[in-house]
Amino acid sequence: MGDSQIRHTHDLWRMVSMWGGAILCYNTTQCIPRDLTMSRFFSQHGRTGSCAAALLISTSLLLGGCKAGGEEAQAKTPDEQKAADAVPVEVAKAERRAIAASYTGTAALEPRAESQVVAKTSGVALAVLVEEGQLVRAGQPLVRLDPDRARLSVAQSEAQMRKLENSYHRAEKLVQQQLVSAADVDQLRYDLENARAMYRMATLELSYTTVVAPISGVVASRDIKPGNFVQINSPIIRIVDSAQLEATLNVPEREIAKLKPGQAVSLQVDALPGKPFTGTVDRVAPVVDNGTGTFRVVTTFSGEEALQAGMFGRLSINYDQRADALVVPRTALLEDGGKPAVYVVRDGKAVRTELALGYDDAGFIEVRNGLKQGDEVVIAGKAALREGSAVQVIGKEKAVAAAAKAPAAAQATKQ
């Protein structure tokens, strides 16, 4: 504030002091001041003088306030004004790290081997020897059916076979004596072979009364109880081999040159969140389906862990990997419908930079061209930015202040 303004303010307050007492006395108590000159003045002008004085005081105060506000606005430096207009953003640096190219898909796990055990003969179930969840081996008995009828059939066919064997042996001796014709001997031989076949058939039917496991695995379901009558070819037990599990993907034909048997596969299942599993590509179909434009890729996983058949999961097949790629977070990419680009912070301003992209993996995307290591790209606050917008990096000031205070704190500790 200048000297002239200070003198003006002092004169104003003297005027307020002089006129204020007269106005207050006249408007409230109507007393006559001792000064006769002031009395005559108020007598001539009355309340008009008081209003004029009040107006003069209000105008002076308003002008002083406006002038002070204007001086405060002019007092801001250009740097402070620029900081007030800057857009707050968060940034991340372009860095080098390993990145992989992969194909992802979803599929349900299926057992590599599965068997629906059926009864090959009919009869009453005398005993069920396994329960659900039980491990079984191939050839292990599962159910025993009533064998009486089958045993009688075996005995009957065996007796017929023995009879024909004796007749055939006698005919062989008689044919040498020319007591029987060669044609009769041949007929006996054919009848004997048929009897032997009938005996073997009866024996096989008897063996079917004991139902055995065709494969090794786990009993997934049991649809029979002791005492039930079992019809021939009716399913009674389901066995799955969980030692090897498979997941089949229907992959678009554009990926057929990238996926090969033996490639590593990672699996995440919804039933076991946060626990990854690894497997391999087992088979790749050599042809593309005409109807869907896809080809089948079969992946295998070990069932010795917590995985179970029927679980639904997300698979990722890594078909290429770069150990030292320049990457930025995927969130840095602009979603304006144009070419791939990011905002790079240079000299406190946002610069739109177009990129040539590569592989995309785990929230990071490879940058083939357009950036160099250490460039700061905007990851939050992009919507408010335009080319050349001033930016204020959130958290950067705190980091700089902390770095500046660290040497001072170390020096104070030494002292």
Residue 295 has pLDDT above 80, yes or no: yes
Bigger pLDDT: 273 vs 126: 126
pLDDT digits (tens, 9 = 90+) for 167-185: 888 888 887 777 778 888 8
Residue 319 has pLDDT above 70, yes or no: yes
**Is 260 domain-assigned?**
no
- Identify whether residues 59 and 127 lie together within a single domain: no
Structural domains in the chain (count)? 3
Given a contact cutoff of 8 angstroms between Cβ atoms, the answer to whether 393 and 115 are in contact is no
Computed over every residue of the chain, the mean pLDDT equals: 77
In the predicted model, what is the mean pLDDT of residues 2-28? Answer: 44
Residue 57 has pLDDT above 70, yes or no: no
Which domain range does residue 197 map to?
Answer: 118-235
| pLDDT band with cut points at 50, 70 and 90 for residue 73 | very low
Q: Which residue, chain included where needed, has tokens 């031989």?
A: 189
3-state secondary structure 41-91: HHHHHCHHHHHHHHHHHHHHHHHHHHHHHHHHHHHCCHHHHHHHHCEEEEE
- Identify whether residues 59 and 160 lie together within a single domain: no
| pLDDT band with cut points at 50, 70 and 90 for residue 387 | confident
Bigger pLDDT: 119 vs 409: 119
- Identify whether residues 43 and 92 lie together within a single domain: no
CA–CA separation, 52 vs 213, rounded Å?
116
- Identify whether residues 125 and 92 lie together within a single domain: no
pLDDT digits (tens, 9 = 90+) for 242-267: 888 999 999 998 888 888 899 889 89
Residue that terminates a domain, selected from 213, 235, 257? 235
Whole-number pLDDT of residue 80: 53
CA–CA separation, 188 vs 199, rounded Å?
16
Ranges 30-44, 71-85, 141-155: which has the least confidence: 30-44
Give the rounded percent of residues in the chain with a pLDDT score beyond 90: 31
Burial 314-342 (b: 16+ CB within 10 A, else e): ebbbebeebeebbbbbebbbbeeeeeeeb
- Identify whether residues 149 and 212 lie together within a single domain: yes
Bigger pLDDT: 80 vs 299: 299
What's the CATH code of the domain at 333? 2.40.420.20
**Is 315 domain-assigned?**
no
Strands of 376-380's sheet in order across: 349-354, 341-346, 376-380, 87-93, 391-393
| pLDDT band with cut points at 50, 70 and 90 for residue 51 | very low
Q: What's this model's pTM, rounded to 2 decimal places? A: 0.54
- Identify whether residues 123 and 230 lie together within a single domain: yes
CA–CA separation, 268 vs 281, rounded Å?
16
- Identify whether residues 185 and 206 lie together within a single domain: yes
In the predicted model, what is the mean pLDDT of residues 221-230? Answer: 92
- Identify whether residues 11 and 50 lie together within a single domain: yes
**Is 308 domain-assigned?**
no
Whole-number pLDDT of residue 160: 93
Angle of helix 182-207 relative to helix 148-176, nearest 10 degrees, comes to 160
Give the rounded percent of residues in the chain with a pLDDT score beyond 70: 74
